[in-house]
Amino acid sequence: MNRIIKTVVLADETATQALGAWIAPFLRAGDIILLKGDLGAGKTCLARGLICSLLGDTEVPSPTYTLVQTYTAPKFEVWHFDLYRLKNEIDVWELGIEEALDDGVCLIEWPERIDGLLNGSELTVALNKKDDRRVAVLTGNNDWKARLNDA
């Protein structure tokens, strides 16, 4: 059963990137992070903070047009998917998600496009706009709760 692990008010883009950087050290090969939120909610910004935390200062473009970007981190590959333009759930296999699930870490923007393929073991970061800031709600199973609550 998934439950709320943490709620964070994010004042700006820097805070959103910092949340991604905070998550990065807890990642293991095979992890899936679901990034939910409306357009402009900060999904790519959070992914950028996470990826730069693992790799140092590197360019992290939005995968909106390429649908997937990959990065080689010291312990695993990071696969950053943007499924906004995905028309059919099964099309995700053509993007290499099977390989990513084997030994990489997946960051998935617009995971609603593949709901039928998810099993509930993912960490979900829901980003919601509230006035002039964002609120991030992290939900996950007991494994995620144990990992993140130790921080």
pLDDT per residue over 82-95, tens digit each?
999 888 888 888 88
- Mean pLDDT (the chain) is 91
Domain count, the chain: 1
| pLDDT surpassing 70 at residue 36 | yes
- Selection from 10, 2, 76 nearest residue 43 by Cα: 10
> Residue 35 sits in which domain range?
3-149
Burial of 141 (0-12, 13-18, 19+ CB in 10 A): middle
Q: What is the CATH number of the domain that holds 65?
A: 3.40.50.300
pTM over 0.85: yes
